Amino acid sequence: MISKTVFVLFTNLILVNCKDFASLSHLKPKASLGKQEDAAKDLYQRVLGPRAGEFVVKVQSNIGPKEKDTFLINTKEKYVEITGTTGVAAAMGLYYYLTNYCNCQITWGGRQMAIPSPLPKVEGGSVNITTNDKIRFFQNVCTVSYSSVWFKWADWEAYLDWMAMRGINMALAFTGQEAIFQRVYMGLGFTMKDLQDHFGGPAFLAWSRMGNMHGWGGPITQNWIDDQLILQHKILERMRSFGMIPVLPGFAGHVPEATILHYPTANVSRLRDWGHFNKTYCCNYLLDFNDPLFMKIAVRFIKEMENEFGVDHVYSVDTFNEMRPRSNSTEYLALSGRTIYKSLKEADSKAIWLMQGWLFIDGGFWKQPQIKALLTAVPQGEMIILDLYSEIIPIYTQTESYYGQPFIWCMLHDFGGTMELYGALKLINEGPFNGRAFPNSSMVGLGMTPEGIFQNEVVYEFFTENVWRKAPRDISTWISKYVLNRYGKTNKFIDLAWQYLKVTSAMFDRHNSW
């Protein structure tokens, strides 16, 4: 008896250790509970309009376990009370109530908000839901260029409401970074013309930011740069007030061509062509990791962001996205990891490096020793890897769960913002559970990393329930409920049509290829 108890305690301990990285415990909302509660109230007002008066919303951090989010729904005689551990959790509680009890739906394509009156009661009068993971991440570095580049604040506001209602508590906040880079580079003697050659045009920033190409679709104007910075202030303010953690960019080593002019002794190399751009736009310069200029730019960049709008300690840095490193030596790759990590830490002692795992899809280059060299150059728990395409090509399974570094199980789903009908419902129904159950799993969250949005809403409604679902669901039953929410009533022909889409695999068993 005694040994069994000891054994159970011991395994629990291992599980806890494995998933709750102490090194990530400082990643949490910055805003006060009162501020988060106000942000949630405002969201309820935007979403519910005149019916908002029938809801009471509260934010209390102590209603559930640490490192997870919880919401409670209590239906009273005359109103519904929703309490969340954060502003995000309170927003998620509202969407849970709307979809599960009111048969409503809010997607990119439209809203079905025929909320019953009086408000439905929940069974037993109360519901208590805790998320499965610490982190729910959203956005791909490409999403902005495929889908949201022309967003005004009103579009961002709706977009952030959409995220909050699905429990997203960590999201890319890349807007306006050119203004910061501009200050850093101009402080180092570069000119606006140098930077216009370096930055892409507004619609192509995703790729110039990743060093894939430069200048294409430009030149970018000062007006655009300034306006985007103003927009970024609003985005950050709203994210933080919900209790989300914005992910800011870091410096990855890609520098303007004029570096060879202003810093003739800098050790730079040229990356290969990406996407068949010609010499005017391709083959960006990469600063060597040993060059002192690397540290200088990286640190100044973060300090400049800190001065401008504050930081949240998570930085996204991808040096080799779809671009092979110059050497496959483990020393070189370890140096790259060490340098990026060191530069982040030097600027912000609480920095955590977020990296897309997409590069590892190139198995011709990234073999086990190369991946291991890069990842283990960073102290355990000080980086987070986005397993970017977990539903189709998981990498955590090939790397002993990223050699112990925390990772986020992500559904990529969409390449290039394409608008076809597809989605791999079966795989995203089961995949996240397999990720958590993987031997020595270092999974810390769920993510969605579509290159483009505004398509196949059914897939996103389905996926985001994984945030709180405790087991995979019966897909046909779920589809019927989705259809009811979408149209607001039951119609056997519509239901049949949707079931038919599923059964014939015309839609739900396919996935996009790139």
Ligand X SMILES: *[C@@H]1O[C@H](CO)[C@@H](O)[C@H](O)[C@H]1NC(C)=O
Among 29, 64, 211, 431, indicate the residue that binds ligand X (CB under 6 A): 64
- Least separation in angstroms between CB 192 and ligand X: 21
Residue entry with tokens 């007002």: 45
> Does residue number 128 form part of the binding site for ligand X (CB under 6 A)?
yes
x/- map, 323-362, ligand X, by CB under 6 A: -----xxx--------------------------------
> What is the nearest approach in angstroms of ligand X to the Cβ of residue 284?
15
CB 61 → ligand X: shortest distance, Å? 12
Residue 64 vs 450, nearer CB to ligand X: 64
ω into residue 118 within 30 of 0, thus cis? yes
The radius of gyration of the chain's CA atoms, rounded to the nearest angstrom, is 23
Shortest distance in whole angstroms from residue 278 CB to ligand X: 4
Q: How far is the CB of 154 from ligand X (least distance, A)?
A: 35
Q: Which stretch binds ligand X (CB under 6 A): 58-66, 232-240, 337-345, 419-427?
A: 58-66
Measured in whole angstroms, the distance separating CA 265 from the mean position of its chain's CA atoms is 38
Phi–psi pair at 387, nearest 5 degrees: -75, 90
Residue of 31, 39, 40, 72 interacting with ligand X (CB under 6 A): 72
CA distance 202 to 162: 24
The encoded tokens of residue 78 equal 């005359």
Alpha carbon 204 to chain centroid, angstroms: 20
What is the nearest approach in angstroms of ligand X to the Cβ of residue 272? 15
Contact with ligand X (CB under 6 A) among 74, 100, 107, 130: 130
**Torsional sign, CA 140, 142, 147, 149:** positive
Q: How far apart are the first and last CA of the chain?
A: 55
Q: Give me the phi and psi of 409, to 5 degrees please.
A: -80, 115
Q: Is 196 helix (H, G, I), strand (E, B) or coil?
A: helix
Place of tokens 């935007």: 46
- How near is the Cβ of 348 to ligand X at its closest, in Å? 25
Q: Does 11 bind ligand X (CB under 6 A)?
A: no
Asked if 17 is part of the footprint of ligand X (rule: CB under 6 A), the reply reads no
What mask of x and - would describe binding to ligand X in positions 289 to 308, judged by CB under 6 A? -x------------------
Residue closer to ligand X (CB basis): 132 or 143: 132
What is the C-alpha to C-alpha distance for residues 87 and 61, in angstroms, rounded to an integer? 10
The smaller minimum CB distance to ligand X, of residues 64 and 445, is found at 64
Q: Build a one-symbol-per-residue string for 396-425: x at contacts with ligand X by CB under 6 A, - elsewhere.
A: ----x-------------------------
The strand pair at 423-424 and 509-510 is best described as: antiparallel
- Applying the rule CB under 6 A, the residues between 422 and 441 that interact with ligand X are 439-440
The residues, any chain, with a CB within 8 Å of residue 262's CB and separated by 6 or more, are 188, 189, 190, 194
How far is 75 from 120, CA to CA, in rounded Å? 8
Toward ligand X, which CB reaches closer, 179 or 268?
268
Interaction between residue 288 and ligand X (CB under 6 A): yes
Place of tokens 């930077």: 195
Query: How far is 86 from 164, CA to CA, in rounded Å?
Result: 10
Q: Which is nearer to ligand X, 290 or 476 (CB)?
A: 290
Backbone angles phi and psi of 503, in degrees to 5: -65, -40
Span of 136-144, 150-158, 274-282, 461-469 interacting with ligand X by CB under 6 A: 274-282
The runs of H, that is alpha helices, within 21-120 are 33-48, 87-101
Q: Which stretch binds ligand X (CB under 6 A): 61-69, 241-249, 407-415, 485-493?
A: 61-69
Nearer to ligand X, 91 or 448 (CB): 91
Per rule CB under 6 A, is residue 65 in the interface with ligand X? Answer: yes
In the list 369, 489, 496, 504, the residue contacting ligand X (rule: CB under 6 A) is 369
CB of 175 to ligand X, least distance (A): 27
**Could you tell me how many residues of this chain bind ligand X (CB under 6 A)?**
20
Q: Does 273 interact with ligand X (rule: CB under 6 A)?
A: no
> Between β-strands 135-138 and 170-172, what pairing exists: parallel, antiparallel or unpaired?
parallel
Our finding on whether 222 is near ligand X (CB under 6 A) is no
Pick between residue 328 and residue 380 the one whose CB is nearest to ligand X.
328
Answer for the pair 130, 69: CB distance below 8 angstroms, yes or no: yes
CB distance 109 to 457 below 8 Å: yes
Pair of tokens at residue 250: 């870091």
Task: Give the range of 57-65, 93-101, 450-458, 467-475 binding ligand X by CB under 6 A.
Answer: 57-65
Q: How far apart are CA 416 and CA 439, in angstroms?
A: 33
Secondary structure (3-state) at 514: coil
Taking contact as CB under 6 A, which single stretch among the options 45-53, 65-73, 164-172, 355-363 is the one that binds ligand X? 65-73
Indicate the residue whose CB is closest to ligand X.
439
- Do 167 and 468 meet the contact criterion of CB atoms below 8 Å apart? yes
Which residues sit opposite 137 in a β-bridge?
A: 170, 447
Query: Which residues are at the interface with ligand X (CB under 6 A)?
Result: 63-65, 70, 72, 128, 130, 267, 278-280, 288, 290, 328-330, 369, 400, 439-440
